[in-house]
A and B are shown apart, each in its own frame.
Chain A
Amino acid sequence: MSADHPIYEVFRQERRGRPFEHAGSVAAPDAEFAEAWAREQYGRRGESVALWLVPRDAIRTVDEWADEFGLKYRRVDGYSIKERLKEARERASARAG
């Protein structure tokens, strides 16, 4: 309702067993108002089976990932086998020839 009110992030679940996905947010003086508005804005057409309302302040965001050692050997993009494969095939055919 007002910019001074706490903000609740709204996550909605479309069907039982599906993940809760971030849908939007509501600003409300308290959790009860937040629930009333979230029900109205994200559930009134039966588009959600459940909602999670989370105070924005309660969310701890983790988005910085240290990769000092370039640990690429643990991932598929850490391997470029094209050149080596080509050479291996050439050697194999030379041996066979």
Chain B
Amino acid sequence: MAAAEIPHDEQALLAYVQAGGQVEATDRLPEDYRSKLIKFIEMHGNSELMGVLPEREWIQRAPTLQRKLALTAKVQDEVGHAQLIYRVVEDLGKPREQCLADLVNGKAKFHNVFHYPTRTWGDVGVIAWLVDAAAIISQKALLKCSYAPYARIMKKICWEESFHILHGRDVVLALVTGTPEQFELVQEAVNRWWGPLMQFHGTPIPKEDDPMFHWRIKSQGNEEARQQFLEGYVPQVLELGLELPDPKLRRNENGVWEYSEPDWDELKHVVTGHGPCTEERLAFRRRFLEQETWVRDIVLAT
């Protein structure tokens, strides 16, 4: 049977991906599509790499050896995701060294949730459970990405994220079944993270206006993802006796979640490099990038 022809013309390729078609690294890609892919996938890679820092801070302070090992494994996984993702970006034409340079120089973006501090062990649980849950909703939708090499690595990434979510939920369950002080650690962390979590999937622009959906890099709209998150996780939070800091949050008769308008100004402010921990974490990355130059030099000289 004849293989589907991958169109070379921009309009034809657009129609092809909009009809569910996928392309490979070796196909000829229109410039607009290629640059949007790089932008989107690079930010994902940056987020994986920066996303380990809030948790890394707690490896030394994890309450038990078991937790320390699990947290270390999670951090290792996320760095591994960054490696897979930067490889995909590299194939699209932007070298990894350039991605890292842009990241540490503050020229590239990463997800809003990784700009905030991890104050207590309660935050570690809430990040691993709810931040990863919000992320896996976006990542599962990327399994259908029009760029097939990205969609394929997402399979492995989603598989590992499932362990992270369970690990986070287990940390939270241990705390909510502990002392009143431990319960309070979780409640405080939930209060702190709810705002950033509600901003995580972005403003509710219609997906038809989203350039990433236009090229079917994303397969769902922002609001669709947020609704899925609320539908899946609000009941799981509430059943533990925890409260969510939004008096307007409710599921209406049509099964749609209503909530207070998230602070979109905060989101914009934070992702443009003005979050509470942005500077400190970029400085950390910068320091290690310099410190490890000799390793890269040796490998490059091979």
Contacts and interface: CB of A to CB of B under 8 A. Distances in A.
B91 A25 contact: yes
B90 interface: yes
A45 B160 contact: yes
Contacts of A26: 87
Contact of B152 (A7, A24, A30, A41): A24
Interface residues of B, number: 26
Among A23, A24, A25, the one with the most B-chain Cβ atoms within 10 Å of its Cβ is A24
Contacts of A29: 299-300, 302
B299 A75 contact: no
Contact of A24 (B153, B296, B300): B153
B287 interface: no
A30 B140 CA distance: 34
A96 interface: no
Given A23-B153, A33-B302, A65 B90 contact: no
A1 interface: yes
B contact face: mostly helix, strand, loop, or mixed: helix
Given A22-B152, A47-B156, A33 B299 contact: yes
Contacts of A93: none
A61 B299 contact: no
A44 interface: yes
B26 A24 contact: no
B45 to A, nearest CB: 13
B80 A44 contact: yes
Nearest to B150: A24
Contacts of B91: 7, 25
Nearest to B25: A25
A84 to B, nearest CB: 24
Given A1-B300, A27-B87, A61-B26, A67 B2 contact: yes
B153 A1 contact: no
B83 interface: yes
A80 interface: no
A58 B84 CA distance: 21
A73 B2 CA distance: 14
Contact of B149 (A24, A44, A61, A64): A24
Contacts of A33: 299, 302
Nearest to A61: B26
A63 B3 contact: yes
Given A2-B97, A23-B153, A47-B159, A41 B1 contact: no
Given A24-B156, A65-B1, 16 more contacts: A1-B296, A23-B156, A24-B84, A24-B149, A24-B153, A25-B149, A26-B87, A27-B90, A30-B302, A41-B83, A44-B76, A44-B80, A47-B156, A47-B159, A61-B26, A65-B3
Which are the 3 A-B pairs with shortest beta-carbon distances?
Answer: A29-B302, A3-B95, A65-B2
Interface of A: 1-3, 7, 22-27, 29-30, 33, 37, 40-42, 44-45, 47, 61, 63-65, 67, 75
11 contacts: A1-B299, A2-B96, A2-B300, A3-B90, A23-B156, A24-B149, A24-B153, A29-B300, A33-B299, A44-B76, A45-B160
